[in-house]
Amino acid sequence: MPEPITDHGGRRTPYGPPGGVERLAAALPGRLRDALPAEIGVGSPWPVRVDTYLDEGVTEADVDVWVQNVSAVQSSGDALDIAVRDGRIVGVRGRGTDRVNHGRIDPRDRHGPSTADGGTRLTRPMIREGGRLVECDWDTAMGRIAGRSKELLDAPGGWGRLGFYTGGRLLLEEHYTLAVIAKAGIATPHADGSTRVGDATAAAALTASFGADGQPGSYTDVDHCDAIALWGQDMAESRVVWERMLDRRLGPRPPAMIAVDPRETQVAKEADVHLPVRSGTNVALMNALLHELIAGNRYDAAYVARHTLGFAELCRVVEAYPPKRAAEICAVPAALIEQAAEILGSCERLVSTVLPGFYRSNQATAAACQVNNLHLLRGMLGRPGAGLFQMTGRPAGQHARETGASGELPGMRNWENPDHVRELAELWNVDLAAIPHWGPPTHAMQIFRYAEQGSIRLLWISAADPVVSLPHADRVRKVLGSEELFLVVQDLYLTETARLADVVLPAAGWGEKPGTVTGADRTVHLCEQAVEPPGEARADLDIFLDYARRMEFRDRDGAPLIGWHDAESAFEAWKACSKGRPCDCTGITYDRLRGGSGVQWPCTPSTGHGAERLYAGGRFATDPGVCQSFGHDLATGAEWGAECYCAKEPHGRAFLHAAHYEPSSEAIGDGRPLYWDPVSKQPIYIVAAYSVATVPVTLDAVPDTETIEVGGAGGGAEADGVVPVEVSQRLEEV
C-alpha cells in the first residue's frame, strides 16, 4: 500500500485556519449560521480537490451516469460518485460538495470492496445436499432456513438456539432490520458483529467517559485546531482525514503534531514529537502526560469542576507517573514526554484521533479513556478546533453500533434501563418480555463459544468471514463446520466461511443496492444503486425482509413486526427508533441527502442541520435516564449496575476514569490464550516484547489472515522487538 504522502505528492492543497470571526460563527448552531453571510457562515477553507479514478481507457466522456454513493473501504465516510457505463462500474469520483472529503477519495476506492477481493461472485443460492453445496432457487434456500428456525424456536429457550454475526458490508437499513429480527422477532441476545474486532473499544471508551457512543468532534475541527495528537495513528484507516491534516501542516499557522506509535511511520516522521512507546504501555504514557498537565496546573480547573467527576481519584493515580517513571516503562526519553505535555498543555484547540495502536493493545479501553480525560481536563470538547475522534475501522462500524446489529440495543439504548426497553417495546408494539434484556448482549466470541458447546444450533453470518478474521481461527473453523450447527452464510463470494455453510445466500455488493451509511464523524450519507447485482444475488435487506415474512414475525396486534419493504421505508423506521436518543436522525430524509452533502446526527426536523459537535457547553449524555450503560470496572469488566451508577449523581457530567498501568498478562508458552480487553471484549493481538522475551517464538507459521494484517498495521507488529503471535496456534497449548 503506497503512503499517501508520495501518492499525492504533487497534489497537496495547503490551507490555513479560518479567522476568529469564522471560528465564532462555526460554534453557532446550524440555523443561526444560515443567517450569516455565506463567506463566514458556512463551509470550510479546505480547498476542494476532486479525485477521479477511472478504469484504463475510460474517460469522463464515456461515462453514462454518475451515481451518488460513499466510500466502502474506510470509515470516515468519503462521499463519491460511481461512474457507470453499460451497466458496469467503471470508476469513482469524489464529491466536491461533501463536508467530509471535499472531493478527495482513497485510491483504494477505485475498485470498491466488491471487486477488490477478486474471485467469482456468487449468483445463485446454494444448499448442502449429501455433504456438498449445490445450487438451488431462493425459495428452497429461504424455506430451509425458515423451517430450521421454526423447529429450533419451538422448544422452551428456543431464542437461545439462534445467533447472528454480521459484518462491515451492510448498510444502516440492513443492520437495523437485522437488529429487529434478532431482538424482537427471534428475541435473542446472541447478535454481534465484526465491530467486536474493529471498534468495540472506541464505543466502550466513548460510552464510559461521555455516557453514550458517538464521536464528539467534527472533521472541520482540523481546520481550526492549533495542535493535533495522533494516538496510535494508522493512515490507511483514515487517509482523507490525514490528508486534511497534512494540508494544514503545509499552510500558514500550521498545527503542532504529536504521534504515539512504536514504528517509524510516515505519520511519525511528520510529527513534531514522536513518542515510540514500547508496545502495550499506552496507559503509562497517558498517565505521565496527564500528570504533567495537572502538576503544571495546565488544565481548565473551572471546566473540570463543573463538567466532570472523578478528578480527585485521577490525581491520586497519575501522581505515581512522573515522566521519569513513564520513560522507564515506555522506553522513551522523559524529555520527549515533557515536550509532548508542553504542546498538549499550551495549545488552545486540540484535535485527537485514537486508532488501533491503542485499541489493539494492552489495557485498550483504559488507554482510550485517558485520551478522553486529556480532552476533559483541558476542556477541549464541543467547540471549533477542539475535537476528539475515537476512530473506527469499518465503513459500517458506526451504524452497526447505532442500530443494535452489534450487540447493543438499537438507538444506543441501555439494556439495564427498563424505560429504554419499554420504548423499544412500544415502538415495535411487542411485549416487554419479548426483548432480550434479562442479561447483557452476547459478544461475538461468546456466540461462537455457545455454538461450540452446542447450545446455539443455527448461526447466520452476513457479510463476514470469521474463519479468516477471528482469533482462534482453526477452532472457529471446527465449530462452524460441525454437523450439529446449521450455518447460514450471506456473502458476495464463496468465502472460507461460506464453504462450511448449510445454506449460502448470494448478496448484492457495493453500488448494487440503496441505503445509508454513518461515517466516523456522525455524517449520514446516501448510497444509491448504481448497477444490478449479478445473477440472482439480492440486496441484504431483501434477504432479511424475505426471512421476516417467512417467519411470520408479528406484533401484539397481529400485524407484521417489520412493516417496511425497501431501503427508504426502513430508514423511516430507523428514524422513529432513533427519536430522542443521542443519534436522533429524525430530521434526515433521503431527499435531503440526495445531491448535496451528508448530514450529521443528531439532526431533528426543527434544527434543519445536524449538530456539528457533541457536548457543547460540557453537557454529557451521562444522566441515568439517557446513558447507554451504567458503566464497568475498567480492569475486570464488572458491571456497576444502576444503583451504583445513580449514586455517583452524574447530572450530565463526564467521567474521568483513572487506571494504573498494568503490564500485559499476555505471554506464551504457558498455555495462556489470547488476551481480551475486559470492557470492550475486544481481542488484543499485539504482544509486548518484554513479556515474551524469554520465550523463543517461531513466526514461520503466521498465516496471512486479516487478523494478523490488521493487528500489524495498528499497533506496531513491525517494530523492533515486537512479536505478533498467531493466536489459534496457541490455543492447542491450552
Q: Binding residues for another protein, per CB under 8 A?
A: 156-157, 159-161, 189, 438-440, 442-443, 445-446, 448-450, 452-455, 472, 475, 633, 635-641, 662, 665-666, 671-676, 678, 681, 734
- In the complex, the smallest distance separating the C-beta of residue 475 from another protein, rounded to whole angstroms, is 8
Residue number, 440 or 560, with CB nearest to another protein? 440
Q: Are 701 and 375 in contact (CB under 8 A)?
A: no
- In the complex, the smallest distance separating the C-beta of residue 644 from another protein, rounded to whole angstroms, is 8
Q: CA 171, CA 169: separation in Å to the nearest integer?
A: 7
Task: Tell me the DSSP string of 158-213.
Answer: GGGGEEEEE-TT--HHHHHHHHHIIIIII--S-EEEGGGGTTHHHHHHHHHHHSS-
- In the complex, the smallest distance separating the C-beta of residue 452 from another protein, rounded to whole angstroms, is 7
What is the DSSP pairing of strand 387-390 with strand 132-135? unpaired
Q: CA 98, CA 240: separation in Å to the nearest integer?
A: 13
For residues 454, 455, 458 and 463, what is the CA-based torsion angle, rounded to 10 degrees?
A: -90
Residue 285: how many CA atoms within 13 Å on its side-chain side? 31
Q: CA 549, CA 552: separation in Å to the nearest integer?
A: 5
| SS3 assignment, position 85 | strand
Cell readout for 249 is: 501542516
- In the complex, the smallest distance separating the C-beta of residue 139 from another protein, rounded to whole angstroms, is 30
Residue number, 541 or 658, with CB nearest to another protein? 658
Residue number, 50 or 674, with CB nearest to another protein? 674
Q: Are 176 and 521 in contact (CB under 8 A)?
A: no
Residue number, 87 or 439, with CB nearest to another protein? 439
Residue number, 124 or 449, with CB nearest to another protein? 449
Q: CA 589, CA 364: separation in Å to the nearest integer?
A: 37
Residue number, 7 or 639, with CB nearest to another protein? 639
Q: Where are the beta strands (DSSP E) in 615-725?
A: 654-655, 675-676, 683-684, 686-687, 723-724
Q: CA 380, CA 384: separation in Å to the nearest integer?
A: 9
- In the complex, the smallest distance separating the C-beta of residue 723 from another protein, rounded to whole angstroms, is 18
- In the complex, the smallest distance separating the C-beta of residue 663 from another protein, rounded to whole angstroms, is 11
- In the complex, the smallest distance separating the C-beta of residue 621 from another protein, rounded to whole angstroms, is 23
Burial pattern 579-606, b for ≥16 Cβ within 10 A else e, equals eebbbbbbbbbeebbeeebbbbbbbbee
How many angstroms from the chain centroid is the CA of residue 279? 22
Residue number, 106 or 666, with CB nearest to another protein? 666
- In the complex, the smallest distance separating the C-beta of residue 438 from another protein, rounded to whole angstroms, is 6
- In the complex, the smallest distance separating the C-beta of residue 691 from another protein, rounded to whole angstroms, is 13
Residue number, 220 or 469, with CB nearest to another protein? 469
Q: CA 218, CA 455: separation in Å to the nearest integer?
A: 44
Residue number, 152 or 396, with CB nearest to another protein? 152
For residues 64, 66, 67 and 72, what is the CA-based torsion angle, rounded to 10 degrees?
A: 120
Residue number, 300 or 452, with CB nearest to another protein? 452
Q: Which residues pair with 127 in a beta bridge?
A: 134, 503
What is the DSSP pairing of strand 256-260 with strand 273-275? parallel
- In the complex, the smallest distance separating the C-beta of residue 38 from another protein, rounded to whole angstroms, is 53
- In the complex, the smallest distance separating the C-beta of residue 189 from another protein, rounded to whole angstroms, is 8
- In the complex, the smallest distance separating the C-beta of residue 673 from another protein, rounded to whole angstroms, is 5
DSSP state for residue 271 in the 8-state scheme: -
Residue number, 606 or 636, with CB nearest to another protein? 636
Residue number, 314 or 583, with CB nearest to another protein? 314
